[in-house]
Amino acid sequence: MKAINLLAPAHEHEFEARHGLPEALPPGERLLWQGSPSAALVAVQALHIRKVAAYFALLLGWRLVSDLHDGAGWAAALAGCAGMLAPIVLALGLIGAMAWLIARTSVYTLTERRVVMRIGVVLSITFNLPLARIASADLRQRRHSADIALTLAGDERIAYPHLWPHARPWQLRSPQPMLRALPAAEAAALTALLGPALKQAHAEPRPAVTAQPAAGPARPLPQRPVRAVQTVKAVPPVRTHEAAPEAAHAGT
Protein backbone atom coordinates (compact mmCIF):
# COMPACT_ATOMS: atom_id res chain seq x y z
CA MET A 1 0.00 0.00 0.00
CA LYS A 2 1.19 3.55 -0.53
CA ALA A 3 0.93 6.90 1.15
CA ILE A 4 1.41 10.59 0.47
CA ASN A 5 4.95 11.92 0.33
CA LEU A 6 5.19 14.50 3.11
CA LEU A 7 7.81 16.48 1.17
CA ALA A 8 5.67 16.70 -1.97
CA PRO A 9 2.08 16.18 -0.83
CA ALA A 10 -0.74 15.49 -3.24
CA HIS A 11 -4.44 14.89 -2.78
CA GLU A 12 -4.61 11.17 -3.35
CA HIS A 13 -8.31 10.96 -2.43
CA GLU A 14 -9.23 12.01 -5.96
CA PHE A 15 -7.24 9.14 -7.44
CA GLU A 16 -8.08 6.27 -5.10
CA ALA A 17 -8.54 2.94 -6.80
CA ARG A 18 -11.19 2.27 -4.17
CA HIS A 19 -12.61 4.42 -1.41
CA GLY A 20 -10.05 4.57 1.40
CA LEU A 21 -7.50 2.50 -0.52
CA PRO A 22 -4.82 4.08 -2.72
CA GLU A 23 -4.38 0.78 -4.57
CA ALA A 24 -6.76 -1.96 -5.57
CA LEU A 25 -6.64 -5.00 -3.31
CA PRO A 26 -4.49 -7.80 -4.66
CA PRO A 27 -6.24 -10.94 -5.96
CA GLY A 28 -7.47 -13.15 -3.17
CA GLU A 29 -7.69 -10.39 -0.54
CA ARG A 30 -11.23 -9.51 0.48
CA LEU A 31 -12.50 -6.32 2.11
CA LEU A 32 -14.28 -7.15 5.37
CA TRP A 33 -15.27 -3.77 6.85
CA GLN A 34 -14.89 -0.07 6.19
CA GLY A 35 -15.98 2.95 8.19
CA SER A 36 -15.14 6.45 9.39
CA PRO A 37 -15.21 8.24 12.74
CA SER A 38 -18.25 10.30 13.68
CA ALA A 39 -17.71 14.06 13.45
CA ALA A 40 -19.76 14.67 16.61
CA LEU A 41 -17.78 12.06 18.52
CA VAL A 42 -14.47 13.48 17.30
CA ALA A 43 -15.51 16.95 18.47
CA VAL A 44 -16.42 15.67 21.94
CA GLN A 45 -13.79 13.00 22.55
CA ALA A 46 -10.73 14.17 20.62
CA LEU A 47 -11.13 17.95 20.45
CA HIS A 48 -12.97 18.32 23.79
CA ILE A 49 -15.49 20.82 22.53
CA ARG A 50 -17.66 20.43 25.65
CA LYS A 51 -14.74 21.29 27.94
CA VAL A 52 -13.91 24.31 25.82
CA ALA A 53 -17.55 25.42 25.95
CA ALA A 54 -17.56 25.00 29.75
CA TYR A 55 -14.42 27.13 29.99
CA PHE A 56 -16.04 29.90 27.97
CA ALA A 57 -19.16 29.67 30.14
CA LEU A 58 -17.00 30.22 33.21
CA LEU A 59 -15.43 33.26 31.56
CA LEU A 60 -18.86 34.69 30.82
CA GLY A 61 -19.99 34.09 34.39
CA TRP A 62 -16.85 35.71 35.77
CA ARG A 63 -17.35 38.75 33.52
CA LEU A 64 -20.98 39.10 34.59
CA VAL A 65 -20.21 38.81 38.32
CA SER A 66 -17.22 41.14 38.01
CA ASP A 67 -19.23 43.85 36.28
CA LEU A 68 -22.04 43.59 38.81
CA HIS A 69 -19.55 43.76 41.68
CA ASP A 70 -18.02 46.90 40.20
CA GLY A 71 -21.40 48.61 40.28
CA ALA A 72 -22.55 48.18 36.69
CA GLY A 73 -26.24 47.58 36.18
CA TRP A 74 -27.67 44.41 34.74
CA ALA A 75 -28.07 45.97 31.31
CA ALA A 76 -24.42 47.06 31.15
CA ALA A 77 -23.20 43.73 32.54
CA LEU A 78 -25.17 41.71 30.01
CA ALA A 79 -23.99 43.97 27.20
CA GLY A 80 -20.40 43.29 28.22
CA CYS A 81 -21.05 39.55 28.12
CA ALA A 82 -22.72 39.87 24.73
CA GLY A 83 -19.55 41.40 23.35
CA MET A 84 -17.72 38.15 24.19
CA LEU A 85 -20.17 35.91 22.35
CA ALA A 86 -18.83 36.49 18.84
CA PRO A 87 -15.27 35.18 19.48
CA ILE A 88 -16.68 32.32 21.58
CA VAL A 89 -19.03 31.20 18.82
CA LEU A 90 -16.20 31.52 16.30
CA ALA A 91 -13.87 29.36 18.41
CA LEU A 92 -16.48 26.64 18.92
CA GLY A 93 -17.36 26.78 15.23
CA LEU A 94 -13.71 26.26 14.27
CA ILE A 95 -13.49 23.23 16.55
CA GLY A 96 -16.67 21.81 15.02
CA ALA A 97 -15.36 22.42 11.51
CA MET A 98 -12.07 20.72 12.36
CA ALA A 99 -13.94 17.69 13.70
CA TRP A 100 -16.00 17.52 10.52
CA LEU A 101 -12.86 17.65 8.35
CA ILE A 102 -11.16 14.93 10.40
CA ALA A 103 -14.18 12.64 10.08
CA ARG A 104 -14.65 13.42 6.38
CA THR A 105 -11.04 12.68 5.43
CA SER A 106 -10.56 9.59 7.60
CA VAL A 107 -11.35 6.07 6.44
CA TYR A 108 -10.62 2.87 8.36
CA THR A 109 -10.52 -0.35 6.36
CA LEU A 110 -10.23 -3.97 7.48
CA THR A 111 -9.34 -6.67 4.98
CA GLU A 112 -8.44 -10.29 5.47
CA ARG A 113 -4.76 -9.31 5.75
CA ARG A 114 -4.47 -5.75 7.00
CA VAL A 115 -5.90 -2.67 8.66
CA VAL A 116 -5.60 0.42 6.46
CA MET A 117 -5.91 3.90 7.97
CA ARG A 118 -6.28 6.77 5.51
CA ILE A 119 -6.01 9.89 7.66
CA GLY A 120 -4.97 13.53 7.42
CA VAL A 121 -6.80 16.77 6.64
CA VAL A 122 -4.04 18.70 4.86
CA LEU A 123 -1.40 16.01 4.34
CA SER A 124 -3.07 12.69 3.60
CA ILE A 125 -1.24 9.59 4.79
CA THR A 126 -2.25 5.97 4.34
CA PHE A 127 -0.94 3.57 6.97
CA ASN A 128 -0.86 -0.09 6.01
CA LEU A 129 -0.92 -2.27 9.15
CA PRO A 130 -0.65 -5.97 8.32
CA LEU A 131 -2.67 -8.03 10.77
CA ALA A 132 0.33 -10.28 11.40
CA ARG A 133 2.23 -7.24 12.71
CA ILE A 134 -0.50 -6.28 15.18
CA ALA A 135 0.20 -7.81 18.58
CA SER A 136 -3.18 -7.00 20.11
CA ALA A 137 -6.33 -4.95 19.66
CA ASP A 138 -7.89 -3.34 22.72
CA LEU A 139 -11.56 -2.36 22.73
CA ARG A 140 -12.48 0.69 24.77
CA GLN A 141 -16.23 1.15 25.05
CA ARG A 142 -18.10 4.34 25.81
CA ARG A 143 -21.82 4.98 26.16
CA HIS A 144 -22.58 5.49 22.47
CA SER A 145 -19.24 4.75 20.86
CA ALA A 146 -16.06 2.72 21.03
CA ASP A 147 -12.37 3.00 20.21
CA ILE A 148 -10.09 0.17 19.10
CA ALA A 149 -6.39 0.66 19.87
CA LEU A 150 -3.85 -1.45 17.98
CA THR A 151 -0.55 -2.48 19.56
CA LEU A 152 2.16 -3.00 16.96
CA ALA A 153 4.51 -5.94 17.32
CA GLY A 154 8.13 -5.58 18.39
CA ASP A 155 9.83 -2.21 18.21
CA GLU A 156 7.86 -0.88 15.24
CA ARG A 157 6.43 2.56 15.94
CA ILE A 158 4.55 5.33 14.16
CA ALA A 159 5.20 8.83 15.44
CA TYR A 160 2.39 10.17 17.63
CA PRO A 161 2.05 13.49 15.70
CA HIS A 162 1.57 11.51 12.47
CA LEU A 163 -1.31 9.58 14.03
CA TRP A 164 -3.12 12.22 16.09
CA PRO A 165 -6.03 12.22 16.71
CA HIS A 166 -6.10 8.58 15.57
CA ALA A 167 -3.85 7.51 18.44
CA ARG A 168 -4.50 6.20 21.93
CA PRO A 169 -4.28 9.16 24.34
CA TRP A 170 -1.12 9.60 26.40
CA GLN A 171 0.74 6.69 24.80
CA LEU A 172 3.61 8.94 23.72
CA ARG A 173 6.58 6.59 24.10
CA SER A 174 4.80 3.71 22.39
CA PRO A 175 2.13 5.25 20.16
CA GLN A 176 -0.80 3.00 19.34
CA PRO A 177 -2.86 3.58 16.19
CA MET A 178 -6.51 3.82 17.18
CA LEU A 179 -9.71 3.48 15.19
CA ARG A 180 -11.34 6.32 17.04
CA ALA A 181 -14.83 7.68 17.66
CA LEU A 182 -16.68 4.81 15.99
CA PRO A 183 -20.44 4.64 16.55
CA ALA A 184 -21.34 1.67 18.76
CA ALA A 185 -22.97 -0.34 15.97
CA GLU A 186 -20.00 0.04 13.64
CA ALA A 187 -17.53 -0.80 16.42
CA ALA A 188 -19.47 -3.96 17.27
CA ALA A 189 -19.41 -5.09 13.64
CA LEU A 190 -15.69 -4.40 13.36
CA THR A 191 -14.89 -6.21 16.61
CA ALA A 192 -16.71 -9.34 15.46
CA LEU A 193 -14.55 -9.44 12.31
CA LEU A 194 -11.21 -8.26 13.67
CA GLY A 195 -10.70 -11.04 16.23
CA PRO A 196 -10.94 -13.97 13.79
CA ALA A 197 -8.93 -12.04 11.19
CA LEU A 198 -6.09 -11.49 13.67
CA LYS A 199 -6.10 -15.15 14.67
CA GLN A 200 -5.88 -16.25 11.06
CA ALA A 201 -3.19 -13.72 10.16
CA HIS A 202 -0.83 -14.84 12.90
CA ALA A 203 -0.57 -18.22 11.25
CA GLU A 204 0.83 -16.64 8.06
CA PRO A 205 4.19 -14.95 7.22
CA ARG A 206 4.49 -11.47 8.71
CA PRO A 207 4.85 -8.49 6.33
CA ALA A 208 6.03 -5.15 7.64
CA VAL A 209 4.05 -2.07 8.61
CA THR A 210 4.49 0.52 5.88
CA ALA A 211 3.69 4.18 5.31
CA GLN A 212 5.69 5.12 2.25
CA PRO A 213 5.47 7.79 -0.46
CA ALA A 214 2.84 7.29 -3.12
CA ALA A 215 5.35 6.63 -5.89
CA GLY A 216 7.96 4.83 -3.79
CA PRO A 217 8.41 1.13 -3.05
CA ALA A 218 7.42 -0.37 0.26
CA ARG A 219 10.25 -0.55 2.77
CA PRO A 220 9.81 -3.45 5.20
CA LEU A 221 10.72 -2.84 8.80
CA PRO A 222 12.80 -5.35 10.81
CA GLN A 223 11.01 -8.58 11.60
CA ARG A 224 10.17 -8.98 15.27
CA PRO A 225 8.46 -11.83 17.12
CA VAL A 226 4.85 -11.17 18.08
CA ARG A 227 2.73 -12.56 20.84
CA ALA A 228 -0.23 -14.60 19.78
CA VAL A 229 -3.59 -12.88 19.71
CA GLN A 230 -6.73 -14.97 19.97
CA THR A 231 -9.38 -12.28 19.87
CA VAL A 232 -10.07 -8.65 20.50
CA LYS A 233 -10.01 -8.07 24.24
CA ALA A 234 -12.09 -5.53 26.10
CA VAL A 235 -10.24 -3.38 28.64
CA PRO A 236 -11.66 -0.96 31.19
CA PRO A 237 -11.40 2.72 30.28
CA VAL A 238 -8.03 4.31 31.01
CA ARG A 239 -8.47 6.82 33.80
CA THR A 240 -7.36 9.97 32.06
CA HIS A 241 -9.19 13.14 31.24
CA GLU A 242 -10.32 11.50 27.98
CA ALA A 243 -11.51 8.23 29.48
CA ALA A 244 -14.66 9.42 31.20
CA PRO A 245 -17.82 8.27 29.39
CA GLU A 246 -19.37 11.06 27.42
CA ALA A 247 -22.75 11.08 25.77
CA ALA A 248 -22.28 11.85 22.08
CA HIS A 249 -25.19 13.27 20.20
CA ALA A 250 -25.05 12.31 16.57
CA GLY A 251 -26.65 15.53 15.50
CA THR A 252 -24.11 17.87 17.13
Instruction: Write out pLDDT tens, residues 20-57.
Output: 888 888 888 899 999 999 999 999 999 999 999 999 99
d(CA 208, CA 95): 36
| Residues with Cβ within 8 Å of residue 2, at least 6 apart in sequence | 22, 23, 126, 212, 213, 214, 215, 216, 218
Q: In terms of residue numbers, what domain contains 56?
A: 44-101
- 119 and 208 part of one domain: yes
Q: Look up residue 211 and give its amino acid.
A: A
Can you give the pLDDT at residue 115? 95
- 87 and 163 part of one domain: no
Asked whether residue 122 is domain-assigned, the answer is yes
Asked whether residue 242 is domain-assigned, the answer is no
- 115 and 226 part of one domain: yes
Q: Tell whether the model's pLDDT for residue 59 goes beyond 90.
A: yes
Which residue would you say has higher pLDDT here, 192 or 225?
192
- 207 and 157 part of one domain: yes
Asked whether residue 178 is domain-assigned, the answer is yes
- 128 and 205 part of one domain: yes
Q: Tell whether the model's pLDDT for residue 113 goes beyond 70.
A: yes
d(CA 131, CA 76): 63
Tell me which of 69, 101, 133 is where a domain ends. 101
User: What pLDDT, in 10s, does the model give residues 158-213?
Assistant: 899 999 999 999 888 889 999 999 999 999 999 999 999 998 888 765 555 555 44
Q: How many domains does the chain have?
A: 2
Residue 144: count other Cβ atoms within 10 Å of its Cβ: 18
pLDDT (mean) for 87-92: 96
- 75 and 142 part of one domain: no
- 78 and 116 part of one domain: no
- 92 and 111 part of one domain: no
Cα angle vertex 74, ends 73, 78, to 5°? 120
User: What pLDDT, in 10s, does the model give residues 131-165?
Assistant: 999 998 999 988 889 999 999 987 778 899 999 99
Can you give the pLDDT at residue 5? 43
Q: Of 5-19, 93-107, 154-168, where does the model show the most confidence?
A: 93-107
Q: Tell whether the model's pLDDT for residue 226 goes beyond 90.
A: no
Asked whether residue 6 is domain-assigned, the answer is no
Asked whether residue 249 is domain-assigned, the answer is no
Asked whether residue 132 is domain-assigned, the answer is yes
Average pLDDT for the chain: 79
- 179 and 138 part of one domain: yes
| In contact, 83 and 64? CB cutoff 8 Å | no
pTM comes to 0.71
